[in-house]
Amino acid sequence: MLRSLLDSVKDQFEKGGKYEKFYPLYDALDTFLYTPSTVTTNAPHIRDSIDLKRSMIFVVIAMVPAILFGIFNIGYQDDSTRTIADNFVFGLYYAVPIIVISYAVGGICEVLFAIIRKHEVNEGFLVTGMLIPLTMPPDIPLWMVAVATAFGVIIGKEIFGGTGYNIFNPALTARAFIYFAYPSEISGDLVWTVDGVSTATPLLQAASTQGSDSLTLLSSANYSFEQMFFGFIPGSIGETSTLACLIGAGFLLVTKVANWRVMIGMTSGMVFTSIIFMFLSPYSTNPMLSLPPHYHFVMGSFAFGMVFMATEPVTASHTNKGRWYYGLIIGIMTVIIRSINPAYPEGVMLAILFANAFAPLIDYFVLQENIKRRLLRK
């Protein structure tokens, strides 16, 4: 019945129809409810039987553990003595408005550009609309979320031509906008404030005192490795639990939506650079140089960025060898930014955006190398 209803009004939205201008809205509803009968003509191309919509939904499913734990953790950080259900309800009060604003503003931008350009509404915002809230602190003003979302969608994606053409990750573009436009709302010792409770995040704590050891600083604030791995720490809504991110990573790898080379490359780059800095730490008063690799892995947004941001298929490298280089660059840059710049102990966002800019160049040199190798075989 639903299929018949959609087919009966389709001609009203096609070229020459009464509602021709609103065809993107009809197409969005149709393709959301049913698998489209056409194949893609433009990037990104999925070498599988699934369409772009379903691959985006897979990413959202992979984020569910991080979403659920992030909502619970907001309440837990406010009052750890409450029940799990009470903390979850408390967290919903902060998280749901941010998610609603992100999807509403981003959806409006997507529809407006689709109508103006006369093309379908891209499903890419299914993921971006959830990534943006998960990278924000729970007390972020809603109007800033709206402005950042519009900036991320328009400047980060639409001006390049929409999904498949953007150079930078739109969600990270939105977060970068907040960081540089309103730094006090997303960085600093007291940025994580819920219901009057202010707490420094582990990364800020580890970089807080020059001349001290990072692990000693973390221990003084009662931050253990186990706490940071499971996520019982202050931070952005969806980034605190490394375990939740790894569960999502497993799902993305099994479904082959994400590429394991980027994840392994990013981890390898982080381990290599942090070990070098540990050898240099006795010659410096910077406490971040002494931070071991396994602590870098569970602190800040490293795991979240590795699983959901760095593996994003459009802005990452597309060749297998290029993915290794791409991941290595992100891992190396993350530790360099965290350790060398005490004013900005979190480096994943800038590292991924930096690698986004060089991803096409990486693929270019990989392809040129393959061409030269084949020519030598003749």
Q: What is the pLDDT along the chain (378 residues), one digit of tens a residue?
A: 877 877 777 777 777 777 777 777 767 677 666 666 666 666 666 565 666 677 888 899 999 999 999 999 999 988 888 899 999 999 999 999 999 999 999 988 888 888 887 777 776 778 889 999 999 988 899 999 999 999 999 998 888 877 778 889 999 999 999 988 887 777 655 555 554 445 667 777 776 667 677 888 888 778 889 999 999 988 889 999 999 999 999 999 998 889 999 999 999 999 999 999 999 988 888 888 889 999 999 998 899 999 999 998 889 999 999 999 999 999 999 999 988 876 676 789 899 999 999 999 999 999 999 888 888 876
Contact 346, 333 (CB under 8 A): no
User: Which residue bears the tokens 């979320």?
Assistant: 145
> How far is it, in rounded angstroms, from Cα 264 to Cα 274?
15
Give the contacts of 2 (CB within 8 A, at least 6 positions apart).
Answer: 33
Q: Give the pTM.
A: 0.85
Contact 70, 339 (CB under 8 A): no
Tokens of 214: 């990072």
Q: Is the dihedral of CA 194, 199, 201, 202 positive or negative?
A: negative
Cis ω for the linkage preceding 44 (within 30 of 0): yes
For the chain, domain boundaries: 1-37, 51-377
Give the contacts of 110 (CB within 8 A, at least 6 positions apart).
Answer: 121, 122, 125, 153
